[in-house]
Amino acid sequence: GAVVSQHPSRVICKSGTSVKIECRSLDFQATTMFWYRQFPKQSLMLMATSNEGSKATYEQGVEKDKFLINHASLTLSTLTVTSAHPEDSSFYICSARTGGMDYGYTFGSGTRLTVV
Amino acid sequence: AQKITQTQPGMFVQEKEAVTLDCTYDTSDPSYGLFWYKQPSSGEMIFLIYQGSYDQQNATEGRYSLNFQKARKSANLVISASQLGDSAMYFCAMRGYSSASKIIFGSGTRLSIRP
């Protein structure tokens, strides 16, 4: 089946630095990628939708300058958390549309970001 | 706007019993889809079942069935013969067809199966 590879699975970074998270579709072309954020014991909150070759569409309240999304190819989308702060510590997970079925969504395995 | 509501933050069920996880939704889209996902402690999202708003029959996938009541805007998940491995977070989710295919999630229900 369709696989989305997400890296890194865990990352610890210092406050003020930037962190890049990659989501790569391994055996299909992901024209649309969704990025979610999940705080402990909470739901997945959609941050943005990225389409290959165009600017991402951010959900209301998400700082686009802080969470940079690049979807430069049909198999790779990246999320860069810039100037990270402890409050950015969270679980980040991507999801891609797969195939033509209405229920065709594949999730990455997630990235646990800790900012110290 | 779309909204998913899960009113059960946590549930405990005896092994081998059936369990129903509640989900209600709200949307102005005439066509939409409803999902249930399982998230174990590892964090991965496991797709369980899908129901299209125009599907005539309730969806079933093995031990999972979706009790879809369109007039009540509810899409409850029924797990039959629960197993210890069913202990996890369960999320109800929805996609509309006028919202760039994005999925929004409910707040989740933590299901714990007792041996």
Q: What is the pLDDT of residues B18-67, one digit of tens each?
A: 999 999 999 988 899 999 999 999 999 999 999 999 998 999 999 999 99
* Neighbouring-strand partners of residue A90: A113
Distance CA A46, CA A37 (A): 7
B105 touches B90 (CB < 8 A): no
pLDDT of A113 > 70? The answer is yes
Partner A contacted by B50 (CB < 8 A): yes
Give A102 or B111, the one with higher predicted confidence.
Answer: B111
Distance CA A66, CA A85 (A): 10
Distance CA B24, CA B70 (A): 10
| B56 Cβ contact partners less than 8 Å away, ≥ 6 residues apart | none
Nearest by CB to residue B35, choosing from A42, A103, A109, is A103
Q: Is A114 exposed, middle or buried (0-12, 13-18, 19+ CB in 10 A)?
A: middle
Query: Distance between the two ends of chain A, CA-based, in angstroms?
Result: 37
Rounded average pLDDT over B71-82: 97
CB contact under 8 A, B52 and A43: no
Rounded average pLDDT over A14-21: 98
Gap from B65 CA to chain A (nearest CA, Å) = 15
Gap from A58 CA to chain B (nearest CA, Å) = 12
Q: What are phi and psi of B85, to 5 degrees?
A: -70, -5
Q: Identify the band that residue B101 occupies on the pLDDT scale cut at 50, 70 and 90.
A: confident
Partners of residue B50 in chain A, C-beta under 8 Å: 102-103
